[in-house]
Amino acid sequence: MARRALRYVDGQTLVLPIVMHDSCIDVPCDERRTCINGGKCVPATIVDPSRCATPGGCDESTLGDGAGGDGGAGDGGDASLDAGSDAPGPDAGPSSETPSPLALGYKHTCVVSSGAVKCFGDNTTGQLAKDPVTVENSPTPLTIASTNGADAVWTRESTTCARVGTAVTCWARSDKHQTDVTAAVKQPGIIAAMSGARNVGPGYLHTCWVAGGDAKCWGAAPGASPATAKADGTIDVTPNAASRSDVVQIASGEKFSCARTTAGKVFCWGANDEMQANGVSVSGTIAPPAEIDLGAQAAVQIGAGAYFACALLQSGTVKCWGNNEFKQLGRRVDPGPRAGVGDVELASGVLSGVQRIAVGNSFACAVLAARDLWCWGLNEQGQLGRNDPGGPLTSSTPAPVTGLVDVEHAAAGAFHACAITRAGKLRCWGQGVDGQIGQIVNESRVPVDVTLP
């Protein structure tokens, strides 16, 4: 049902109609937001209470962010950056919904800003929606066509998708039918088969999405073709259902995918050479999807790296499994190059109070209740943000990113990471050779500000 977080003059009568839109079915909004026509969550604040004093005075035009405190311009920050999303802020408890205005690929970054998606970094496979022959890369964010009105963006390696109302538009690499065509570079365009998708999980050679509780995928990956986990690497050109109808989130790695259900269970399928698809033992492929044993706690968010995966639990702790070559599983006692499900740990005890997770290729980060960001795993290009030139290549122990506070959203790529603060500032660090941190440098081991046009 609809929810409203009201700010009103004491003693004033408010007449509040309840309007349910078909486009809002299965669209979860946190307690500070409500769904309006078009399936979009907006701040649930009555901007002008006087309009609600008479019948018919209240409608969706009275909703807004006048109360502030919800990211973006309401916090007095960069008004051009859309820091809000369907997910609750870190102080609202662990996130149960992950669509975010920030997504990082192998060497590119995309963010929802001023009502459209803007991307910067590598463009060799059309990640910036420009001709790779004429635009190799760009440290300056470029606006992606056909994304006006977007409120979420997803990517993993190259293929990138954005949610615009009930439609999904995708672009970049599609040589294995990661989108609706087979082409080296796809220009931005609405994907009819993905209509109504609330969550998208692009992988390396395949793309998965969730619509109406169904997880569907297409594309190809040797040993990891979605749902059926075909070993021949052939291409699925029509959506292939993953045999479940209760999925709310999906995440894809290099050759595998994982899905989270309404009950907080996690199922994975595809390549399992690093235990990434069953969290128990090594095998060739997993099909149909196998349940990951997370114990008694329900998962509220999942993330997939190249060959490992993590789940944020209701308790605010994090469990990871799969490849551990770069200590990305966060274990105090090194379990070796791969391991089953286990807690991410500190020097003493487990990492707790986590509100959101961001999983990169071989490292991961967690937004804590205090709104700081802690990262662990591979640190080859300073992607852990520790201001440690000449420091260790890897770290199994989570530690805070230097100088980064008041985090609203975070995302992790291959060798770089970015965060949006509550003030609406975009900050990035790690590898920058293609401009993926907003400037062309070899690396930055501390966050740098990214200027959005």
Q: What is the pLDDT of residue 121?
A: 98
Cβ-Cβ contacts under 8 Å for 289 (sequence gap 6 or more): 227, 242, 243, 244, 259, 267, 268, 269
DSSP type of residue 156: S
How many other CB atoms are found less than 10 A from the CB of residue 9?
Answer: 9
Q: Are 144 and 80 in contact (CB under 8 A)?
A: no
Q: What is the pLDDT of residue 28?
A: 53
Please check whether residue 158 lies inside any domain of the structure. Answer: no
Q: What is the pLDDT of residue 18?
A: 57
Please check whether residue 422 lies inside any domain of the structure. Answer: yes
The dihedral built from the CA positions of residue 195, 199, 201 and 202, taken in this order, carries a sign that is positive
Please check whether residue 128 lies inside any domain of the structure. Answer: no
Residue 342: give its domain's CATH number.
2.130.10.30
Q: How far apart are CA 429 and CA 446, in angstroms?
A: 6
Cα three-residue angle 264-266-267, rounded to 5 degrees: 145
Half-sphere exposure at residue 365, Cβ-oriented, CA atoms within 13 angstroms: 30
**Token pair recorded at residue 167:** 């439609």
**Token pair recorded at residue 271:** 């390549």
Please check whether residue 242 lies inside any domain of the structure. Answer: no
Q: Are 429 and 445 in contact (CB under 8 A)?
A: yes
Please check whether residue 45 lies inside any domain of the structure. Answer: yes
58 is in which domain, residue-wise? Answer: 1-67
Rg value, the chain, Cα = 21
Q: What is the pLDDT of residue 215?
A: 86
Q: What is the pTM of this model?
A: 0.80
Q: What is the pLDDT of residue 244?
A: 65
Domain boundary among 12, 34, 67: 67
Domain boundary among 11, 38, 67: 67
Q: Strand pairing partners for 132?
A: none
Q: What is the pLDDT of residue 334?
A: 94
Q: How far apart are CA 189 and CA 70, in angstroms?
A: 30
Please check whether residue 88 lies inside any domain of the structure. Answer: no
Q: What is the pLDDT of residue 438?
A: 98
Q: What is the pLDDT of residue 49?
A: 41
Q: What is the pLDDT of residue 88?
A: 41
Domain boundary among 48, 67, 86: 67
Please check whether residue 235 lies inside any domain of the structure. Answer: no
Please check whether residue 301 lies inside any domain of the structure. Answer: yes
Give the type of residue at 199. Answer: N
Q: Give the largest Cα separation in the chain, rounded.
A: 69
Q: What is the pLDDT of residue 211?
A: 87
Q: Are 291 and 266 in contact (CB under 8 A)?
A: yes
Total domain count for the chain?
A: 2
pLDDT in tens, the chain (453 residues): 344 344 333 444 444 445 565 555 555 554 445 666 545 555 554 434 444 444 444 444 444 432 222 223 232 234 356 554 444 445 545 654 557 899 999 999 999 999 999 999 999 999 999 999 999 999 999 999 999 999 999 999 999 999 999 999 999 999 888 888 888 999 999 999 999 999 999 999 899 999 888 888 888 765 444 444 444 444 555 556 555 678 999 999 998 999 999 999 999 988 999 999 999 999 888 888 899 999 999 999 999 999 999 999 999 999 999 999 999 999 999 999 999 999 999 999 999 999 999 999 999 999 999 999 999 999 999 999 999 998 899 999 999 999 999 999 999 999 999 999 999 999 999 999 999 999 999 999 999 999 998
